[in-house]
Amino acid sequence: MKINWGTAIVIAFIGFIGFIMYFVVNMATNDKYDHDLVVEDYYQQELKFQNDIDKEKNSKTLKTNVSWQKTQDGILITFPEDLDIKDIKGKVFLYRPSNKQLDFETPISLSNHNLLIPDNRLLDGRWNITIDWTYDNNSYLFKEAINY
């Protein structure tokens, strides 16, 4: 059987379309390629972005900003020493980019100027830490990508 050039073009198109369809179906059905958004309500978070910028600007006006360090027991978050700990309210959110099941949020509850995030809640690797807190009706925000 002899194949002319018209038949060869049709076979090439069918082969190419089959090749593309294989990858489309494979990417749509395979859980290995499941990519989620960073947050579920992405567009609502985007509208609050200017508020976050203002909070970060407020943080830069402090004498000392919030700091963190890795210890044997976990992550030790230190709040400014010149502030009264009874008036510090807020939350600490740790986001794991590689697995959203590991994300967690902790309310700020201080007995001294330090807050400890226990080691048993953290795995080695990259985390994004966000500390959203208020003091004297002023809102502050600390964001940083850390490697634990």
Pair (46, 29) in one structural domain: no
User: Is the predicted pLDDT of residue 137 greater than 70, yes or no?
Assistant: yes
Pair (57, 30) in one structural domain: no
Pair (124, 60) in one structural domain: yes
More confident residue, 92 or 39: 92
More confident residue, 65 or 20: 20
User: Is the predicted pLDDT of residue 37 greater than 70, yes or no?
Assistant: no
Q: Are strands 104-107 and 114-118 parallel, antiparallel or unpaired?
A: unpaired
Which range of residues forms the domain containing residue 51?
A: 42-147
User: Is the predicted pLDDT of residue 39 greater than 70, yes or no?
Assistant: no
Look at the chain and report how many structural domains it folds into.
Answer: 2
Pair (136, 72) in one structural domain: yes
Q: Model pTM?
A: 0.67
The region of weakest confidence among 26-40, 68-82, 86-100, 118-132 is: 26-40
Pair (56, 97) in one structural domain: yes
